[in-house]
Amino acid sequence: MSATVMRAPAAQPLDRHRLLVLGLVWVILLLCPFWIPFIGGYTSLGTRILVLGLAAMSLNFLIGFTGIVSFGHAAYFGLGVYGCGLILRYVTASTPLGLVAGMLLGGLAGTIIGALITKRRGIYFAMVTIAFQQIFYFIAYKWNGLTGGFDGLRGFTRANINLGFANLDIIKNDYVFYYFVLFVFAIVAGVMGLILRSPFGRTLLAIRENERRARFLGINVERHIWLAFTISAIFIAIAGGLYALLNNFADPSSLYTDLSGELVIMCVLGGIRVFWGPLLGAAVYVVLQDWISSHTVNWMFFVGLIFVIVVMFFPRGLLGILRRRSEA
């Protein structure tokens, strides 16, 4: 009895710590347009961090919480970009419809491809994801009549959103657009968090820790990996749609291998086994890229050097090492 009484309060500080971290994250995000100019940034930079942070978190859903590495996830991000851009360019000037179209296009591709490759593991799985990514890249690159080819898809812009009682000016007002992106980010992050805390999410963690043991327990590993791949593709396609709205432009680089590598770097920088790690990694990467590139064209060398230092001395990532120290 006494042992039970002594152990029960131990969970409370951890819960308070998580709530404190969660509250701090949202305070920082909500106030971002007001404090980011003081560090030399601007509102659109904060929006870019949110979009790429969401993309990195979507990839981390697969890497960090399922244990499956994909080097071709830019395919679904790029399909989200083009899906949104094509709707706005050729169908109707509707921002919500563009986001839904991008999500459906990326999610459908992820569903089909995930079903084809779920039996592959390790380097074979990663290489197949790159192969499919290259297919989508060359389709976008060569289909000039629809995608604009190498020059990209132009001639569209994000449309204001009429709520009936108010009109959201997301075209000219960068502050309003930032909070629109933050609203979408909050919904996706909330759904992602609920999935990871559900029995399905716990099953993904079991597969990550020991796939063979999970299979012996009767878990259909291939089906769970397929579902995780599909969900991850849907989430990252939403980020792709937001990216199209941010830039009012879609080009094949959003489908290229370089972007997949950058997303993996963001996950590792922040911490692949921490929910908010990829968001921190995206913030560090985007801010460093913006600041260093304003001083030298060789910014990739310095970002790569920082990445190597983090991997060597902080293998858990920046947020992972902070979390470890707080729990010590």
Query: Which amino acid is present at 4?
Result: T
Q: What is the DSSP letter of 167?
A: E
Residue 216, domain member (yes or no): yes
Query: Does residue 162 form part of some domain?
Result: yes
Name the more confident of 105 and 169.
105
Work out the burial of residue 290: count CB atoms within 10 Å of its CB; fewer than 13 is exposed, 13-18 middle, 19 or more buried. Answer: middle
313 occurs within a structural domain: no
Kindly state the helix (H) or strand (E) to which residue 162 belongs, with its residue range.
Answer: strand 161-162
Within a domain: 176 = yes
Residue 106 has pLDDT above 60, yes or no: yes
Q: What is the pLDDT of residues 205-224, one digit of tens each?
A: 999 998 889 889 888 999 99
**Domain membership flag for residue 1:** no
Nearest to 246 by CA among 165, 287, 185: 185
Domain that holds residue 82: 42-256
Domain count, the chain: 1
Tell me how long the chain is: 328
Confidence of residue 6 (pLDDT cuts 50, 70, 90): very low
Whether 160 is in a domain gets the answer yes
User: In this model, does residue 22 exceed pLDDT 50?
Assistant: yes
Does residue 286 lie within any of the structural domains?
no
Identify whether 133 is part of a domain.
yes
